[in-house]
Amino acid sequence: MAVDLIKERYTSRVGEVVLGATADEGGTRSHTITIGGDSTMPFLRFEGEVPNRPVVAMEVVDREPVEWNVALREAIGDEIKDPAAWAQKCVNEFGADLVFVRLQGADPDLGDAGPEACQATVKAVLDAVKVPLIVIGCGDDEKDNEILPAVAEAASGENLLIGTATEENYKTLTAACMVHKHCIVALSPIDINIAKQLNILINEMNLPLSRIVSDPTTGALGYGLEYSYSIIERARLGALGGDRMLAMPVMCTAGYEAWRAKEANASVDEFPDWGPVEPRAVMWEALTSTALLQAGAHLLVMRHPRAVSLVQKHIDAMMKE
């Protein structure tokens, strides 16, 4: 019995965003990375194209994140004290496609690093690795509006992905990305309407749609992952149906969220029936990421080298010709 495959016919596709710039393009990266462009739901290549493999960025912090789980810090090694060395290890040993630099040290409560210090950090990482970079502020709006334009200027031409723009605070960063030719992360709080609205607002300032990456906010496994999962699926269906304001590639901070979960930190003494903490935590991050890939994530930001290698292997398997 021949069963005809049911193929959905979508009218449109996810937008493509190019990250990084080579010397020819005014930057210093060895290559660029393109995300998005899918013309079907995740990985369904029997009915559409998945022209670009989903990618994994690894998170590097500009200060030693002493509050991180000790198992995670040990897995990263001593390089955790130096963002440039840490970034190098992510690319050379851990298999990261990109580096995600969190300028947390700029937080007024965590060192209050100024614009020059942040510029220096980003420069150092740019010198240390040749992959495209993502740079994220400290989360304090006022401070981010001070440091991120400075970073955008110092890295002019590198085509960074810079974040985070929110509905309440997007103008300064959008302007900086316009002037210095970078891409922007648009963060919305697990709400598809706000996601769309923010893309419109940024686009109205004349930043092209091809320079916006959407971060719909990630819920960790066990902590609202299903909300993110459904929002990402709905946005993808919107994109495929022709809604250009929902057609941005999707970035998910899976590592940050997964490592906040109780299950990634509680010791086996506290919860004897949960088993040892490190493998549990690694799986918490790996499965959070895998589920998001199945929803439609294009760019995962992760932390633990073992979780990264599991997810990279999975992406390879899903993309195999």
Partner 1 sequence: MGLSGLDIYKQLPKKNCGECGPPTCLAFAMSLAAGKAALDACPYVSDEARENLASAAAPPIRLLKVGAGETAVEMGDETVIFRHEKTFVNPTGIFIEVGDDLSDEDVKAKLEQIKGLVFERVGMEYAIDGLALRNVSGDAKRFLEVAKAAQALGKPLVLIAEQAVLSEAAPALADDKPLLYAATAENFEAMTELAQKCDCPLAVRGEGLDQTAELAKKIAGLGHKDLILDTGNRDLPQAISDLTQIRRHALKKFRPLGYPAMAFTTADDPEEEMVEATALIAKYAGLLVVKADQVSQLLPLLSWRQNLYTDPQKPIQVKAGVYEVGEVTPESPVYVTTNFSLTYYSVEGEVQASKIPSYIIAVDTEGTSVLTAWAAGKLTSEAVAEMLEKEGMGDKVNEKRIVLPGHVAVLSGKLKELSGWDVMVGPREASGIPSFAKSKFA
User: For binding to partner 1 (CB under 8 A), which residues are involved?
Assistant: 1-3, 5-6, 43-46, 109, 219, 221-226, 229-230, 233-234, 237, 260-263, 265, 273-276, 279-280, 282-284, 286-287, 290-291, 293-295, 306, 310-311, 313-314, 317-318, 320
- Angle, to 10 degrees, between the axis of helix 141-154 and the axis of helix 171-180? 0
- Among 74, 71, 139, 149, CA closest to 109: 139
Q: Which is nearer to partner 1, 161 or 221 (CB)?
A: 221
For the bound state, the minimum distance from the C-beta of residue 117 to partner 1, rounded and expressed in Å, comes to 22
For the bound state, the minimum distance from the C-beta of residue 139 to partner 1, rounded and expressed in Å, comes to 10
Residue 134 bridge partners (DSSP): 100, 161
Please name the residue ranges forming H helices in the chain. 70-76, 83-92, 115-128, 141-154, 171-180, 192-204, 225-240, 254-258, 277-295, 305-319
Check residue 267 and report its DSSP letter: -
Q: Which is nearer to partner 1, 123 or 306 (CB)?
A: 306
For the bound state, the minimum distance from the C-beta of residue 298 to partner 1, rounded and expressed in Å, comes to 16
Q: Which residue has the tokens 């660029």?
A: 32
Residue 163 bridge partners (DSSP): 136
The residue count of the chain comes to 321
The answer to whether the CB of 73 falls within 8 A of the CB of 55 is no
The answer to whether the CB of 288 falls within 8 A of the CB of 271 is no
Q: Which is nearer to partner 1, 37 or 224 (CB)?
A: 224
Q: Which is nearer to partner 1, 152 or 310 (CB)?
A: 310
Q: Which is nearer to partner 1, 119 or 265 (CB)?
A: 265
> What DSSP string describes 80-118?
GG-HHHHHHHHHHTS--SEEEEE-GGGSTTTT---HHHH
User: By three-state DSSP, how is residue 72 classified?
Assistant: helix
For the bound state, the minimum distance from the C-beta of residue 43 to partner 1, rounded and expressed in Å, comes to 6
Q: Which residue has the tokens 């955790």?
A: 80
Q: Which is nearer to partner 1, 25 or 243 (CB)?
A: 243
Return d(Cα 254, Cα 290) in angstroms, integer: 10
User: By three-state DSSP, how is residue 172 classified?
Assistant: helix
For the bound state, the minimum distance from the C-beta of residue 228 to partner 1, rounded and expressed in Å, comes to 10
Q: ω into residue 164 within 30 of 0, thus cis?
A: yes
For the bound state, the minimum distance from the C-beta of residue 107 to partner 1, rounded and expressed in Å, comes to 11
Q: Which is nearer to partner 1, 148 or 281 (CB)?
A: 281
For the bound state, the minimum distance from the C-beta of residue 149 to partner 1, rounded and expressed in Å, comes to 25
For the bound state, the minimum distance from the C-beta of residue 76 to partner 1, rounded and expressed in Å, comes to 19
Q: Which is nearer to partner 1, 77 or 276 (CB)?
A: 276
